[in-house]
Amino acid sequence: MNMSLKMPHTEFKGIELYGDLRQFESMVRHTSWRVGGVADCYYRPAGIDDLGRFMSVLPEDESLYWLGLGSNLLVRDGGIRGTVIATSPGLGGMDYLGEGRLRVEAGVASAKVARRSVAQGLRGAEFLAGIPGSFGGALAMNAGAFGGETWRHIAAVEMIDRHGQIHTYSATEFSVGYRSVQGPAQQWFVAGVLQLDKGSSEEGRGMIKTLLGKRGESQPIGLANAGSVFRNPPGDYAARLIETAGLKGHCEGAACVSDVHANFIINTGGASATQIETLIRFLQAEVQRVHGVQLETEVHVIGEAL
């Protein structure tokens, strides 16, 4: 039980919940693209224990969708038939364990992990300042930026299963690649332990400032987007392929390829998920036609079309 909350918010299937449970929740305000239909059920747990209680009474065949800060995600306009579990801010714990180890829960913003690590005199996680999503998302996809990758620094993880039970694993029990992580089926990340090097906090803060400066110059900061849309193919960059195919600035309705970085699609105002997905498929087809390269999406597309 999350002891920071004195009273349960609601009762669900005979158990008391301390989080925020909603039905028929629009996903527009929960995604960084500001698009998406209605989710049948939306739960924002108050903590890991509260999440476990909620999951323990869900049907075995309930479709689950995990949400951090809403980046790297496209929810179709027809919405989601199933339950969305929002890890932020309830899974927001972050604790220094000593000997260079920092335990971080899934709902913590990646940028906050970078700041906390350098404040603790730890080095190696500064690149997380350039990742717009949550730490849970970084764990799930081995997120990276500026030459750094999440799983290079992971010592152990905690996962939750369909029955609400927590399991702890060593990082060596996972198969990790570029933007991919394979581990136990039907289990989801709730926390991870970073193993970092000790170093100068001042130098770490300076590196974060430099990285954020580069990000501001090369990415459409302040505009509704979901981060990089496509994975970089081996030996090349998705942005270069899109730009050299003459597609920078190309629009489908109010969804447009960014003029700043061609691997970003921005919602210029009032775009639909359908317009964004149509633009994604068009970019894939054109890059295939011009360059003979099949771009794979980094963004996760979920839900039903209208």
Select which of 228, 258, 272, 277 is catalytic.
228
Res 204 pLDDT > 80: yes
The pLDDT score that the predictor gives to residue 3 is 37
Res 10 pLDDT > 90: no
The predicted-structure confidence for 268-297, as pLDDT tens digits, reads as follows 999 999 999 999 999 999 999 999 999 999
Would residue 71 show up in a list of annotated catalytic residues for this protein?
no
C-alpha 10/C-alpha 268 separation (Å) is 38
Please tell me the pTM assigned to this model: 0.93
CA 82 to chain centre: 19
> Higher-confidence residue: 2 or 80?
80
The predicted-structure confidence for 20-30, as pLDDT tens digits, reads as follows 999 999 999 99
> Average pLDDT, whole number, for the chain?
95
- Confirm if 107 and 92 have CB atoms less than 8 A apart: yes
The pLDDT score that the predictor gives to residue 5 is 44
- Confirm if 236 and 230 have CB atoms less than 8 A apart: no
Select which of 101, 103, 179, 240 is catalytic.
179
Res 34 pLDDT > 90: yes
Residues present in the chain in total: 306
The pLDDT score that the predictor gives to residue 188 is 98
The pLDDT score that the predictor gives to residue 101 is 98
Would residue 126 show up in a list of annotated catalytic residues for this protein?
no
The pLDDT score that the predictor gives to residue 196 is 98
Calculate mean pLDDT across residues 93-119: 97
C-alpha 221/C-alpha 215 separation (Å) is 8
The pLDDT score that the predictor gives to residue 9 is 75
* Residue from 195, 193, 191, 170 nearest 100 by CA: 195
C-alpha 300/C-alpha 72 separation (Å) is 6
The predicted-structure confidence for 153-193, as pLDDT tens digits, reads as follows 999 999 999 999 999 999 999 999 999 999 999 999 999 99
CA 55 to chain centre: 21
Calculate mean pLDDT across residues 198-227: 94
The pLDDT score that the predictor gives to residue 7 is 62
Res 119 pLDDT > 50: yes
The pLDDT score that the predictor gives to residue 62 is 95
Calculate mean pLDDT across residues 105-116: 98
Calculate mean pLDDT across residues 112-116: 98
Give the chain's domains with CATH numbers.
10-86 (3.30.43.10), 94-218 (3.30.465.10), 238-302 (3.90.78.10)
Would residue 228 show up in a list of annotated catalytic residues for this protein?
yes
C-alpha 105/C-alpha 190 separation (Å) is 6
Res 1 pLDDT > 70: no
